[in-house]
């Protein structure tokens, strides 16, 4: 399990290796929107659960896998960020409705198209008791650009020319070209501020189980017992008095086995999880141990095409495979019908500031890949791909992984392809998104790609030629130019018109195969309450909101 320590390019939208859709019944929602029925079960979207009645000594949370790293430069997945969000903070704070509010930067300005100025918050302490300064901000941000670090977040900074301290409490970032996406990336791990002294002291041990981290969040890092758990404790010197942790301790226990997680949730051994095994939703809800909740998400479930040199290099074969997948039945099998098939790579929820006409075109003026095996067979024959082999990589993370891999293999065989399923451990599966050598021999692998800002360009930027997360090496010069122009367009409505064109191109060429959209689901046990089930938990200190029910 290794990551190349060379300069990489990675999109601001980071991969999630686990599906998060789930059917939910909510009984403790303070506010909720949306309701309906599916497979005879009532459900509703939850914005925010009821406020806690008081503090609680300790909370134990289940994670589907051990973090790869708590180093913000590499944190890119659920297992990493659900922990890191409670310990380390960014310059901007991403809220549950996907708006931004001040974080470690009290304010930010864009006085010229190529200049971003951040006023740094005073009176903030790191967990070792030292004061945070503008120098720490410069050191933390500059580290993303260091080729020796090889950060997974380099793409957020790829247009940065300089990062300078321009006042006692001011940092100015100058970009080579206007970059609309840079500031939005600072609401995630790319905007984390760490102590410059700690970075220097720990060196290569920073962020691992030996060194840990020293940040400014409501919880501080205590220990990491490899293969077992990460333990955090409340930081009494936290600056935001409205978000002081209500729990004295927060432990993350690693449970790769889905059945073990379900049993631990039902028994009360753990207080919750962000990744609900799809086949256990109704079982959990009827157990009386707590509530399955889901909120509005930004995720699209995809099959990533990681090999364009094989059978899937022909767009006709990619289209055929998508047409051979009965995605409506897959949704029913995976999530009792909660969710819906999609032919594009973003959700409408991230087009908040878009031009209405552009948004409509992005979702309607596209090709639709309805279930049609006979038409798909003809495409494979036209491509001369009958009998060619593809390898589908999966992992025993949840029922959805088994459903997707088996359905894809069956669909491939139904149109004349030969398909093999290769199974990895959950931890090994995570490396598919960071280590090119892990993807050798893989043609397809399943993911849920979520966006962390209200802009679809966050996704489309990652599919430009040479981007770190363009795993299959897809390349389209027209697309590259279009997305680059969009990124330099500072007006959100005008930018959305270009983003709509990008969505139409990827819908036509299918560098990834979009499957479905679904809500962000989690389970909260009956001992605790206080959080929002929004996907913003990846970057927001959600653990601090949890207290006694």
Q: Quick check: 479 and 463 in contact, CB under 8 A?
A: yes
The set of residues, in sequence order, having a beta carbon less than 8 Å from that of 203 and lying 6+ positions away, is none
Give the pairing type, strands 418-423 and 389-394.
parallel
CA distance 63 to 72: 18
3-state secondary structure of 299: coil
User: 427: which 2 tokens?
Assistant: 């931890």
CA distance 228 to 129: 28
Q: Which residues pair with 162 in a beta bridge?
A: 174
pLDDT(17) > 80:
no
CA distance readout (Å), 43 to 50, 273, 277, 279: 17, 19, 17, 16
Structurally, at CATH architecture level, domain 300-517 sits in Roll (3.10)
CA distance 116 to 133: 18
Q: How confident is the model at residue 42 (pLDDT cuts 50, 70, 90)?
A: low
Q: Quick check: 486 and 463 in contact, CB under 8 A?
A: no
pLDDT mean over 299-315: 96
What ranges do the domains of the chain cover?
A: 15-296+520-548, 300-517
Predicted model pTM: 0.81
Q: What is the pLDDT of residues 421-477, one digit of tens each?
A: 999 998 899 899 989 999 999 999 999 898 888 899 999 999 999 998 999 999 999
Q: Which of 31-40, 238-247, 481-490 has the lowest mean pLDDT?
A: 31-40
CA distance 115 to 102: 18
Could you count the other beta carbons within 10 Å of the beta carbon of residue 346?
A: 28
Q: Quick check: 337 and 38 in contact, CB under 8 A?
A: yes
3-state secondary structure of 282: helix
Query: How many Å from the N-terminal Cα to the C-terminal Cα in the chain?
Result: 40
Give the ranges where 291-438 is alpha helix by DSSP (H).
315-324, 327-335, 356-364, 373-382, 399-414, 426-430
Max CA-CA distance within the chain? 68
Q: How confident is the model at residue 11 (pLDDT cuts 50, 70, 90)?
A: very low
Q: What is the pLDDT of residues 70-113, one digit of tens each?
A: 999 999 888 999 999 999 999 999 999 888 999 999 999 999 99
Answer yes or no: CATH 3.40.190.10 is held by domain 15-296+520-548: yes
Q: Quick check: 397 and 64 in contact, CB under 8 A?
A: yes
- Could you please report the per-residue DSSP string of 214-269? ---SSEEEEEEETTTEEEEEE-TT-S-GGG--SEEEEEEEE---HHHHHHHHHHTS
Phi, then psi, of 406 in degrees rounded to 5:
-70, -40
CA distance 255 to 139: 35
Q: Quick check: 157 and 12 in contact, CB under 8 A?
A: no
The set of residues, in sequence order, having a beta carbon less than 8 Å from that of 512 and lying 6+ positions away, is 302, 303, 304, 305, 345, 463, 472, 506
The sign of the dihedral angle between the CA atoms of 194, 117, 104, 14 is negative
Question: What pLDDT score was predicted for residue 30?
Answer: 32
Q: Which residues pair with 49 in a beta bridge?
A: 29
Q: What is the pLDDT of residues 394-405, one digit of tens each?
A: 999 877 899 999
Could you count the other beta carbons within 10 Å of the beta carbon of residue 358?
A: 19
The set of residues, in sequence order, having a beta carbon less than 8 Å from that of 360 and lying 6+ positions away, is none
Could you count the other beta carbons within 10 Å of the beta carbon of residue 231?
A: 18
């Amino acid at each position: 399990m290794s990551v190349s320590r060379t300069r990489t390019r990675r999109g601001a939208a980071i991969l999630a290796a686990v599906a998060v859709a789930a059917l939910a019944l909510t009984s403790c929602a303070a506010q909720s929107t949306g309701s309906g029925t599916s497979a005879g079960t009532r459900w509703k979207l939850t914005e925010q659960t009821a406020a806690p009645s008081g503090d609680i000594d300790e909370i134990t949370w289940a994670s589907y896998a051990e973090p790869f790293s708590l180093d913000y430069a590499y944190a890119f997945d659920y297992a990493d960020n659900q922990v890191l969000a409670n310990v380390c903070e960014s310059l901007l704070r991403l809220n549950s409705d996907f708006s931004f509010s001040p974080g470690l930067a009290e304010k930010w300005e864009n006085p010229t198209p190529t200049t971003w100025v951040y006023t740094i918050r005073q009176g903030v302490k790191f967990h070792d008791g030292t004061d945070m300064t503008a120098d720490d901000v410069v050191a933390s941000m500059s580290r993303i650009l260091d080729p020796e670090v090889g950060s997974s977040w380099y793409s957020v900074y790829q247009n940065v020319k300089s990062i300078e301290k321009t006042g006692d409490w001011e940092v100015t970032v100058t970009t080579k070209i206007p970059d609309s996406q840079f500031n939005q990336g600072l609401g995630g791990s790319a905007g984390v501020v760490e102590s410059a002294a700690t970075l220097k002291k720990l060196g290569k041990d920073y962020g691992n189980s030996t060194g840990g981290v020293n940040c400014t969040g409501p919880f501080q890092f205590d220990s990491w017992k490899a293969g077992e758990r990460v333990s955090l404790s409340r930081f009494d010197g936290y600056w935001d008095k409205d978000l002081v942790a209500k729990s004295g301790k927060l432990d993350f226990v690693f449970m790769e086995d889905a059945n073990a997680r379900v049993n631990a949730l039902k028994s009360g051994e753990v207080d919750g999880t962000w990744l609900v095994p799809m086949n256990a939703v109704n079982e959990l809800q009827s157990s009386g141990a707590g509530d399955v909740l889901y909120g509005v998400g930004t995720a699209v479930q995809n099959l990533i095409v990681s090999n364009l040199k094989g059978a899937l290099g022909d767009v006709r074969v990619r289209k055929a495979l998508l047409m051979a997948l009965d995605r409506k039945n897959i949704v029913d099998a995976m999530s009792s019908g909660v969710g819906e098939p999609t032919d594009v790579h973003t959700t409408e929820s991230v087009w908040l500031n878009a031009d209405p006409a552009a948004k409509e075109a992005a979702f309607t003026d596209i090709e639709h890949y309805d279930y049609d095996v006979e038409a798909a067979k003809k495409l494979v024959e036209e491509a001369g791909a009958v009998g060619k082999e593809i390898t589908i990589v999966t992992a025993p993370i949840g029922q959805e992984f088994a459903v997707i891999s088996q359905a894809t293999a069956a669909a491939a065989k139904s149109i004349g392809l030969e398909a093999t399923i290769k199974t990895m451990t959950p931890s090994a599966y995570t490396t598919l998104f960071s280590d090119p050598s892990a993807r050798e021999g893989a043609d397809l692998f399943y993911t849920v790609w979520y966006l962390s800002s209200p802009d679809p360009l966050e996704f489309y930027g990652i599919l430009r030629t040479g981007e770190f997360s363009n795993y299959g090496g897809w390349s389209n010069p027209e697309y590259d130019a279009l997305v680059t122009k969009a990124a330099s367009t500072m007006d959100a409505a005008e930018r959305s018109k270009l983003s709509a064109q990008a969505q139409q191109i990827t819908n036509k060429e299918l560098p990834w195969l979009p499957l479905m959209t679904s809500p962000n689901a989690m389970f909260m046990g009956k001992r605790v309450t206080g959080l929002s089930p929004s996907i913003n938990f990846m970057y927001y200190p959600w653990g601090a909101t949890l207290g006694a029910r």
